């Protein structure tokens, strides 16, 4: 049984993905959100058991997922788990910025804890979730569950904020690039629809080329850039812009903000 404490946006995305991937059955999922309305919505939409008595569900759960926000009453959530959660259950926290040390102090030492930063591409099967385990948890215990909502990358806890600002925020950078690229097509004279189709195909095809050939992007650029041609002229303009450094600063800022939020 998997019990979710909190049934907000991220928990819903996880439930939708694990049901679609048939990682678990509907009758193996319980949810306890403080909002009655939210529980009703989750029950009606996914036919899971939402709105359960916390103590009862905690006693049955093999996985206890803490899905509330960092600013919610984590102390009372921790106390409930400490009191009612089975000692052999794995506690999976998706709460951004809350450290393993803090979690252990709330739910009790000597419990298996997985600190997970879920990706936001859960519906696609793409995207890595970042996962740190404490010494009581093993990859074997959590692998199947976590792979139900994306791919899994195990990282040391000290890398979790970097993983968040770089990896989990990753689709944002890509969306922004796609938007800017499509705008460039429109600026040059294509219709929005034409530009959009070309951009999406280029993105998918370029990723596929990198995977297929195993080549470094620079090698593929070299192949595409003939002497004095279109490609190298376009690249020259990008090279003289702030493109690479701007993107890199943006990632560093996201990492910094992740750490700041954890301290607030
Ligand atoms: N969204 C993302 O992309 C994302 C990505 C990675 C990690 N996360 C993490 O996922 C967690 C949830 O984020 P979210 O975006 O899903 O937030 P959310 O939609 O606000 O979900 C949190 C839910 O928990 C409920 N809640 C609050 N206190 C509770 C309690 N004591 N017991 C039971 N339920 C309680 C809230 O109800 P009320 O609204 O009525 O208070 C709300 O429905 C956060 O810790 C966040 O750091 C989110």
What local confidence, expressed as pLDDT, does residue 17 receive? 95
Residue intervals of the chain classified under CATH 1.10.3730.10 are: 165-262
The domain made up of 165-262 has a fold known as ProC C-terminal domain-like fold (1.10.3730)
- Those residues whose C-beta lies under 8 Å from the C-beta of residue 48, and which sit 6 or more positions away, are 15, 26, 29, 30, 31, 42
Burial class of residue 94, CB neighbours in 10 A (0-12, 13-18, 19+): buried
What local confidence, expressed as pLDDT, does residue 97 receive? 86
Atom 17, ligand 1: residue with shortest CA distance: 8
246 is in an annotated binding site: no
pLDDT by position in tens, the chain (length 264): 999 999 999 999 999 999 999 999 999 999 999 999 999 999 999 999 999 999 999 999 999 999 999 889 999 999 999 999 999 999 999 998 899 999 999 999 899 999 999 998 988 989 999 999 999 999 999 999 999 999 999 999 999 999 999 999 999 999 999 999 999 999 999 999 999 999 999 999 999 999 999 999 999 999 999 999 999 999 999 999 999 999 999 999 999 999 888 787
Query: Quick one: 2-155 is in which CATH superfamily?
Result: NAD(P)-binding Rossmann-like Domain (3.40.50.720)
153 is in an annotated binding site: no
Burial class of residue 90, CB neighbours in 10 A (0-12, 13-18, 19+): buried
In a 13 Å sphere around the CA of 211, the CA atoms on its Cβ side amount to 6
List the structure tokens of 143: 């692998």
- What are the pocket residues of ligand 1 if the criterion is a CB atom closer than 6 Å to any ligand atom? 5-11, 32-35, 38, 67-70, 72-73, 77, 94-96, 117-118, 120, 168
What local confidence, expressed as pLDDT, does residue 26 receive? 96
Residue intervals of the chain classified under CATH 3.40.50.720 are: 2-155
The closest of 3, 77, 9 to 41, measured between CA atoms, is 9
Q: Which residues pair with 114 in a beta bridge?
A: 92, 133
C-alpha angle 199-197-202 in degrees, rounded to nearest 5: 35
């Amino acid at each position: 049984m998997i019990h979710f404490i909190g049934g907000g946006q991220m928990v819903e995305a996880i439930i939708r993905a694990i049901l679609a991937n048939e990682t678990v059955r509907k009758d193996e999922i319980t949810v306890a959100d403080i909002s009655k309305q939210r529980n009703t919505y989750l029950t009606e939409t996914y036919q899971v058991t939402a709105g359960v008595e916390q103590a009862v569900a905690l006693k049955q759960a093999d996985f206890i997922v803490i899905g509330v926000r960092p600013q919610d009453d984590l102390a009372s959530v921790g106390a409930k788990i400490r009191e009612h959660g089975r000692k052999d259950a794995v506690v999976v926290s998706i709460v951004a910025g809350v450290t393993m040390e803090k979690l252990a102090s709330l739910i009790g030492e000597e419990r298996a804890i997985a600190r997970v930063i879920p990706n936001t591409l859960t519906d696609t099967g793409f995207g890595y979730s970042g996962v740190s385990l404490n010494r009581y948890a093993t990859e074997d215990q959590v692998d199947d569950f976590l792979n139900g909502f994306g791919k899994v990358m195990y990282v040391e806890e000290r890398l979790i904020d970097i993983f968040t600002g770089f990896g989990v925020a990753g689709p944002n950078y890509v969306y922004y690039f796609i938007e800017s690229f499509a705008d460039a097509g429109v600026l040059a004279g294509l219709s929005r629809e034409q530009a959009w189709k070309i951009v999406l195909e280029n993105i998918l095809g370029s990723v596929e080329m990198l995977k297929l050939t195993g080549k470094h992007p620079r090698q593929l650029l070299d192949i595409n850039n003939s002497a004095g041609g279109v490609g190298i002229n376009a690249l020259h303009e990008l090279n003289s812009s702030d493109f690479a450094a701007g993107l890199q600063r943006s990632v560093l800022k996201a990492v910094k903000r992740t750490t700041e939020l954890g301290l607030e």
